[in-house]
Structure 1
């Protein structure tokens, strides 16, 4: 099976929105939009992400089928990565493959990844791609409805 990255297209939005409304995905991601079911907010966010040249936002395909997204963006001066995979494809190595591909095309270092402490799968993805834990943070997580601890991971090379 081959994982590839391509630019996100308008026709991807319905699938991306559906995945980001999945209750299990919301709980795992934890740090989501206040109302993940707000399609107007989702569309506004997608427009902002797709038109900002500083954001590297890619659709993830497995054998030509859309299965997720991966992105690099700058927040508070740090270059960060994020990814989201269709819950129907969790556990297939897609997030790891996609992040490796993104890291290869993203020249800026260091890169940071954040994951809710309870999201051990996401931590494994980051660590398989060379990220190491450098600290902890916490914040209000809409996905779990409470203050939630998160790990901060860093990739230097």
Structure 2
């Protein structure tokens, strides 16, 4: 499958909504937003992302299918990457390809990332893209309803 990135279209939002409300995906990601379950809050959040000059957000496509999204957000010097790929596509290298595409588009460094410490798949994606674990923190994981360990990574 060939991965490509493009700006987010209105028609992507229902797909993202479905993807981001998958219970297993949420459990694995752990640090999710409670806004994702409320359609109105979800839509308002995405409208804000799409119009913010501080956010680069792209839809991830493979062979014409919307797989998810990838983005960079935050203040200069503290910018962070995030991504979400539909669970049906996990384990195929598509998240890595999507993140590498975004990193080519956004050359500023450093960039940061965070992942649940037990999310081996996400940590592997980030490390394949050049991110390195620099510290560990604990934080409340909404999707799990408890505090868990989190890895903090940086790409220099």
Give your verdict on TM over 0.5.
yes
Deviation at 1:51, TM superposition (A): 0.4
SS at match of 2:101: helix
Q: Residues 38-58 of structure 1, C-alpha deviation per residue, up to 9 Å, x if partnerless? A: 111111110110000110000
Which residue in the other structure is 1:72 paired with? 72
Aligned ranges for residues 24-103 of structure 1 at < 5 Å?
A: 24-74=24-74, 78-103=78-103
Q: Residues 39-84 of structure 1, C-alpha deviation per residue, up to 9 Å, x if partnerless? A: 1111111011000011000000001211110000015951100000
Which residue in the other structure is 2:16 paired with? 16
> In 2, distance between residues paired with 1:110 and 1:81?
11
Moved more, 146-155 or 36-45: 36-45
Preserved contact between residue 77 and residue 110 of structure 2 (Cα < 8 Å):
no
Deviation at 1:34, TM superposition (A): 2.1
Which residue in the other structure is 1:129 paired with? 129
The gaps in structure 1 that reach 5 residues or longer are none
Q: CA RMSD in A?
A: 1.3
Report the TM-score when normalising by structure 1.
0.95
Preserved contact between residue 2 and residue 63 of structure 2 (Cα < 8 Å):
yes
Which residue in the other structure is 1:105 paired with? 105
The gaps in structure 2 that reach 5 residues or longer are none
Which residue in the other structure is 1:144 paired with? 144
Report the TM-score when normalising by structure 2.
0.96
> In 2, distance between residues paired with 1:94 and 1:4?
10
> In 2, distance between residues paired with 1:118 and 1:34?
21
Moved more, 72-81 or 95-104: 72-81
- How many residue pairs align between the two structures? 156
Moved more, 32-41 or 3-12: 32-41
Deviation at 1:133, TM superposition (A): 0.5
